[in-house]
Amino acid sequence: MVGFSLTKLLARILLGCLLLLAVLIFLLFDFKPSVHNNYPVTPDTALLAETFGSRLKGRALQQQHLYITLQESQALIAIGQRAFPKVQAEVSITADRATLALSYPVLAGALHLNVQASLVPDEQGDWLERVQLGSLSIPGSWVLRVLSWQASRMLGSDEVAHLIYAVEQVQLESDIVRFRFAIPDNFKGGLRSGLPLQRLLLSEPERFEVYLQQLQSHYQQHKPQQLSSYLDVVFQSAYVQSEQADVSAVLENQAALLALGAFFGPAHFDWLLGDGRSYPLSRPAPGEVQLAGRFDLQQHFVYSAVIKALTNRELGLLAGEMKELLDTNPGRSGFSFVDLLADKAGLRFAELALQSEASARNLQAFFLQPRDDGDLLPVFESLHEGIQYEQFLSYYVDLDSVAYQQQLALIQQKLLAMPLYSGKD
Tens-digit pLDDT profile for residues 330-363: 989 999 999 999 999 999 999 999 999 999 999 9
Q: What pLDDT score was predicted for residue 167? A: 83
Q: Which residues contact 195 (CB under 8 A, 6 or more apart)?
A: 155, 271, 272, 274
335: nearest Cα among 322, 344, 325: 325
- Which sign, positive or negative, has the C-alpha torsion 134, 135, 141, 143? negative
User: pLDDT of the chain along its 425 residues, tens only?
Assistant: 555 577 777 788 888 888 887 877 778 888 899 998 888 999 999 999 999 998 887 655 566 788 999 999 999 999 999 888 899 999 999 999 999 999 999 988 889 999 999 999 988 778 899 999 998 899 988 888 888 887 777 656 666 666 677 788 899 998 999 988 876 665 555 544 445 454 445 456 778 888 989 999 999 999 999 999 999 999 999 999 998 867 899 999 999 998 999 899 876 565 554 444 556 667 888 999 999 999 999 999 999 999 888 876 667 788 899 999 999 999 899 999 999 999 999 999 999 999 999 999 999 999 999 999 999 999 998 999 999 999 999 999 999 999 999 999 999 999 999 999 986 54
Q: Do residues 386 and 340 touch, judged by C-beta distance below 8 A? A: no
Query: Pairing state of beta strands 136-139 and 128-133?
Result: antiparallel
DSSP letter, residue 226:
B
Number of H helices and number of E strands within the chain?
Answer: 18, 9
Using DSSP's 3-state secondary structure scheme, residue 367 falls into coil
Q: Percent helix, strand and coil across the chain, each rounded to 5?
A: 55, 15, 30
Q: What pLDDT score was predicted for residue 274? A: 45
- Which sign, positive or negative, has the C-alpha torsion 375, 237, 241, 273? negative
The reported pTM is: 0.85
Q: What pLDDT score was predicted for residue 60? A: 57
Any alpha helices (H) in 194-246, and if so which ranges?
A: 197-200, 205-222, 227-242
Q: How far is CA 288 from the centre of its chain?
A: 28
Tens-digit pLDDT profile for residues 136-146: 899 988 888 88
Query: Where do the domains of the chain lie?
Result: 43-191, 197-422
**Cβ atoms within 10 A of the Cβ of 67, count?**
15
Q: What pLDDT score was predicted for residue 424? A: 57
Residue 156 region, left (φ>0) first, then alpha (ψ -120 to 50), else beta? left
Lateral strand order in the sheet of 176-181: 65-69, 176-181, 167-173
- Which sign, positive or negative, has the C-alpha torsion 271, 46, 85, 146? positive
Whole-number Å distance between alpha carbons of 377 and 88: 35
Q: What pLDDT score was predicted for residue 275? A: 47
Whole-number Å distance between alpha carbons of 143 and 163: 14
- Which sign, positive or negative, has the C-alpha torsion 195, 199, 204, 207? negative
Residue type, 87: V
Whole-number Å distance between alpha carbons of 293 and 340: 16
Whole-number Å distance between alpha carbons of 25 and 133: 11
Using DSSP's 3-state secondary structure scheme, residue 306 falls into helix
